[in-house]
Amino acid sequence: MSKLVILFTLRMLGLPRWIAQIVMVLILAGGLNHAWSAQIEGRVVGVSDGDTITVLDANKRTTKVRLRGIDAPESKQAFGQVSKRSLSELVYGKMVQVRYDAEDRYGRVLGVVLSGGSDVNLIQVHRGMAWHYKHYQRDQSAAERRDYARAEDDARAASRGLWGDQSPVAPWDFRRSSH
């Protein structure tokens, strides 16, 4: 959302300009990003790969969700199918909550998936099934950045999942080289 749209919206709510500007700065700095996030609840009816699922809500609408803050190996890449199986074990057929505040260029919701109160995105990184996607870490809260980075460091140190490979190729490098 642009700064002008945020400021205009806050002013339309009747907030004085100086309060609207403070709120806008907090939003843009990520201090209030989760307070304004939307949420989807539903059953996972599809797992495309290690970082993309399909959720069916109570109104029988499906939503494609890209797990925010992580990047899993591509399907044709080493560990791609293992990562997909890991995510399937965590969520397929289960009820989940998805916290989100944006969509990607493909129209997928970018969200944090919660199953039984646990952050599935973080679990994928901890298991060594995905990288912490640091290129987009500005979209995460400070606590998420810290937790995801720590989970990746721990998985790497323990040689879990893809980190057991001698030289794992990051998905963004794999995508670049395959096009």
CA dist 43 and 102 (Å) reads 20
The encoded tokens of residue 70 equal 């992580």
DSSP 151: H
Active site residue 152: no
Give the three-state DSSP class for 62: strand
Q: Which of 68, 74, 144, 152 is catalytic?
A: 74
Contacts of 13 (CB under 8 A, 6+ apart): none
Integer CA distances (angstroms), 173 to 122, 160, 168, in order: 21, 20, 10
Active site residue 108: yes
Active site residue 66: yes
CA dist 120 and 112 (Å) reads 7
Q: Which of 17, 41, 43, 66 is catalytic?
A: 66
CA dist 52 and 42 (Å) reads 15
Q: Which of 68, 85, 89, 108 is catalytic?
A: 108
Catalytic residues: 66, 74, 108
